[in-house]
Structure 1
Amino acid sequence: MQKIVAIFDGLRLSESTLHYAILIAKEQQAHLTGVFPDDFTYNSFNLYQLLKVGTDQATIGQLEAVDKGRREAAAGIFEAACQRAGIAYSVHHNRNISLLEALEESIYADLLIVDAQETFVHDEMKPPTRFIRDLLTDIQCPVLIVPPQILAPAVFSDISNIVFLYDGEPSSVYAIKMYGYLLPFLQKLPTTVLSVNPMGNHLANKQLVMDFIKRHFPHAGYKVMEGVPEEEIVNYLLEQAQGALIVLGAYRRSMVSRWFRESMADVLMERLSAPLFIAHNK
């Protein structure tokens, strides 16, 4: 049985994370662990501002009690959803810093699911948030980054097709492998291997990759283009119908490298609203 971990901010419960986590756990008959970090550095209120204006400790204690109640209610929503879906589940709470809690959980998980807009700070941010960037840099298992919920409650695009981003590097092949191992129930969906080469519209290691894809995804098609990957990939995906799940590798790069070039995952989170399956080999 697979172990899937879903990370939730109990003060801003992500319906998107809940939706995808329940869907995948049910299809895979996996155990779903809902992680609700009770981060002692994070509240719904600005503690610094309250102390600055002389708010008394009793009032702060009341606000902390309200936050505790909201976190408990969010965990209750998760439990009720799991029970309705008939899946095995557990709930983890910890007073650790949210990022450290998520990274530790990832060591013991087959797949981690998290909302692209998750922050675990008082202020909201646009994707990719600092929390997501730091999580992707050091995560120890594949991750499904789900799009923020921008529609009416409980309205989501079903996953209707799969796009593999292939650049000839081992990390892109590794991501495709991990996707195949972890999410076999999606393999019946239309699948495209998308490759963009700045030096011409040819497929890197063509015979090897086509032989590999044929063994695991025999009905997959190919789209090979010339150009700047960050531009052509986004343009191609924007032209596709809603419902694509994008599979990619290679997030772990040096800090200096990220100063000069954004990660493809960052670009996709900025420009698209689609789930990203990301796995990188160490």
Structure 2
Amino acid sequence: MKKIIVAIDGLKFSRSATEYAVLVARETKGHLVGVFLEDFTYHSFSVYSLVPDEGSFEDIVRKREDEDRKVRDQAVRDFEDICRAAKVEYNVHRDENFARKQLLHESIYADLLIIDKTETMSHFDAEIPSDFMKEVLLNVECPVLLVPQDFEELENVVLLYDGEPSSVFAIKMFSSLFEGLNKPVEVLSVKSPDENLHLPDNRLMKEFMKRHYPKAVYTVLNGTPEVEIVEYLKNKNPNALIVLGAYRRNMVSRWFRNSMADVLMRELKTPLFIAHK
């Protein structure tokens, strides 16, 4: 049985993340853990914006903290209601610790982390991916499923493959976790305009795929990966689950080229499965 954890900000409950987590738990026959990130430094309000009206400043802060606690308690109840209705095994972890530290520690003991791709762990808006998400993705100890704000049933799976070991590793991790998932599978590659349209390591890759997804279809495009992949997925696979490899990059290369995961998070409204060694 797989252990699936879903990260939840109790002040901004993501029903979509919970619904995707329940779907994955059913598909993988896994045990679901709701990790409620109750960072003691994070509130729904800014202390500097509070204006005392009646009572002391401390009384007002205490009242707002009590309101936040009620919201978080309701989020836990909502999570439990969804799990019970879906008849999946679950439990809840609540810890008033630094959210990043808590989540990364939990990921050591999980087979998969599911999280809303718009998560910020802040009452401020932030671009996608937020600083919180970037740190989690760079340091997480298990594969991650990034999900959109709106839940949609999955129609197919697209495996992004560029001939690098990291992309094959991601496919291995995905097939191990989702071995019972019965959806059409496509392998998508992009090569430079002056290259042929053969799959990188064609014989070895197809031999490998035959053992995992014997009915997979293959698509090879010419162009710039960040452009061609986004365009192809928007037009051909609006409800696909996308699988891709390493998020980690050395700092020098990040100055010149965005992570593919960052681009897909911003441009697509589909779940992204990311795995790196």
TM-score (norm 1): 0.93
Match of 1:226 in 2: 222
Residue 157 of structure 1 pairs with residue 152 of structure 2? yes
Residue 177 of structure 1 pairs with residue 172 of structure 2? yes
- 1-structure distance, mates of 2:152, 2:33: 23
Matched residues, number? 274
Aligned residues of 2:52 and 2:60 also touching (Cα < 8 A): no
| Secondary structure in 2 matching 1:158 | coil
Which deviates the most, 119-128 or 242-251? 119-128
- 2-structure distance, mates of 1:241, 1:263: 21
Match of 2:185 in 1: 191
Residue 167 of structure 1 pairs with residue 162 of structure 2? yes
Unaligned runs of 5+ in 1: 150-155
Task: State the one-letter code of the partner of 1:179.
Answer: F
Aligned-CA RMSD value: 1.7
Cα offsets for 1:28-73 (capped at 9, x unmatched) = 2211000112101110001233389996101100000100111011
- 1-structure distance, mates of 2:111, 2:65: 34
Deviation at 1:208, TM superposition (A): 0.7
Residues 203 and 27 (structure 1), Cα distance of their counterparts in 2 relative to 1, 3 Å cut: closer
Percent identity, aligned pairs only? 49
- 2-structure distance, mates of 1:123, 1:224: 41
Deviation at 1:262, TM superposition (A): 0.5
Which deviates the most, 248-257 or 37-46? 248-257
Task: State the one-letter code of the partner of 2:143.
Answer: P
Unaligned runs of 5+ in 2: none
Residues 52 and 133 (structure 1), Cα distance of their counterparts in 2 relative to 1, 3 Å cut: farther
Deviation at 1:21, TM superposition (A): 0.5
Q: 2:238 aligns with which of 225, 242, 249?
A: 242
Match of 1:88 in 2: 89
- 2-structure distance, mates of 1:193, 1:55: 62
Deviation at 1:241, TM superposition (A): 4.1
- 1-structure distance, mates of 2:103, 2:116: 13
Deviation at 1:242, TM superposition (A): 2.5
TM-score (norm 2): 0.95
Aligned residues of 1:118 and 1:129 also touching (Cα < 8 A): yes
Match of 1:153 in 2: none
Match of 2:253 in 1: 257
| Secondary structure in 1 matching 2:180 | helix
After superposition, where does 1:200-215 map in structure 2 within 5 Å? 200=195, 201-215=197-211
- 1-structure distance, mates of 2:96, 2:251: 29
Deviation at 1:126, TM superposition (A): 3.6
Deviation at 1:125, TM superposition (A): 2.4
Aligned residues of 1:6 and 1:32 also touching (Cα < 8 A): yes
Task: State the one-letter code of the partner of 1:193.
Answer: V
Task: State the one-letter code of the partner of 2:172.
Answer: K
Task: State the one-letter code of the partner of 1:167.
Answer: D
Deviation at 1:225, TM superposition (A): 1.3
Cα offsets for 1:227-267 (capped at 9, x unmatched) = 11111111111111421000000111122221211110000
- 1-structure distance, mates of 2:159, 2:28: 21
Match of 2:3 in 1: 3
Aligned residues of 2:19 and 2:82 also touching (Cα < 8 A): no
Residues 169 and 59 (structure 1), Cα distance of their counterparts in 2 relative to 1, 3 Å cut: same
Cα offsets for 1:77-123 (capped at 9, x unmatched) = 11121112221111111111111111111100000000000110111
Deviation at 1:196, TM superposition (A): 0.3
- 2-structure distance, mates of 1:250, 1:26: 26
Match of 2:147 in 1: 146
